[in-house]
Amino acid sequence: MPTFTLQAIAEKISAKIVGDPKKTITQVAPLYRATATELTYLAHNSYRKLLSNTSAGAVILKEENAKDCPTIALIVNNPELAFATIARLFEKKPEIKPGVHPTAVIDPSAEIHPTASIGALCVIGENVVIGEQTVLHPQVTVEQGVTIGQSCEIHAHASIYHDVTLKDRVVIESGAVIGRDGFGMAQHEGVFHRIPQLGSVIINNDVWIGANSCIDRGAIDNTVIETGVKIDNLVQIAHNVRIGAHTVIAGCTGIAGSTVIGKHCLVGGSTAIGDHLTICDKVILTGCAMVTSSIKTPGIYSSGTGLMPNRDWLRAVVRFKRPKRKSAEEAD
């Protein structure tokens, strides 16, 4: 394992050191169990009670908490971001070697950069383009006409349907499906008829897509995921949806067709968002929110209730349904 002095660590995160800069760190660990050679951090006040008893070799924290730190302090403005930066130094990843595994099935028309790595049992279709230093783990399927940029990583059993575009540094976790047909149906005399989905999916730079998430191709226009979006596991994004840059979507969320979500939004887990809606920039939707109309003003929005006994919940629902009482001024 690599080791680093606190001086070297501080330089990487622009931290002020209170203590010995020559101390050596061998690993990172949680605040409650870090040892004398390990680095930890304090980002939330809810964990502040653990600080005074920590045995860590050093703690990354804010200036306001430094006086309570019993060990070496690395003072920064954003401890969580600083810790994320340092944790990458200790990240264990299997070595990836460029080249094509002999069991991969690759159409002769595909263009694969020599620095790319294609794992066992991958299937790559006609006219696929794969950029430099991109990694396909075992059993990835890439259909015809797909373009994958530089430094992407696609994990085992992911499926990329035809004519999808992935730009640079996109990560797709295991089992994700990108570009399947959107759920478009036309009804006639009680029978549903499939509408051909003629659009595609465009995934922009630095997007992360979690395991078993699905992003449907557009009906006529494209489904678009903008730069820096992070999508958790088990998320469904329907056809023609557009997700704005640096928005984060937590697990088990469903977004119906042709909805547009703005930039820098936070979508809590198990949120349900209806179709043909527009959500502006910088909106936070708390977990289990149900969005049935467009949101035009930035802010925090919630729906549903926290868990309570069923009889209490039924009474609360009755109160929710009561018409608003008019004030004296409104009555006049």
Distance CA 64, CA 331 (A): 52
- From 239, 246, 264, 276, the catalytic residue: 239
The CA distance from 120 to 136, in Å, is: 9
Q: Which stretches of 42-121 are assigned E, i.e. beta strand?
A: 58-61, 72-75, 99-100, 105-106, 111-112, 117-118
**Closest by Cα among 106, 85, 235, 109 to 172:** 235
CB 186 within 8 A of CB 217: no
CA distance 133 to 115: 5
Which is it for strands 214-216 and 111-112: parallel, antiparallel or unpaired? Answer: unpaired
193 catalytic, yes or no?
no
Which residues are CB-contacts of 287 (< 8 A; sequence separation ≥ 6)?
250, 268, 269, 270, 271
Query: What spatial distance separates the first Cα and last Cα of the chain, rounded to whole Å?
Result: 76
- Side chain identity at 202, as an amino acid letter? I
Q: Nearest-CA neighbor of 66 among 9, 30, 16?
A: 16
Helix (H) / strand (E) element for 223: namely: strand 223-225
Beta bridge partners of 154: 136, 172
Q: Is 308 left (phi over 0), alpha (psi -120 to 50) or beta?
A: beta
CB atoms within 10 A of CB 309: 8
Q: What are the residue numbers of the active site?
A: 239
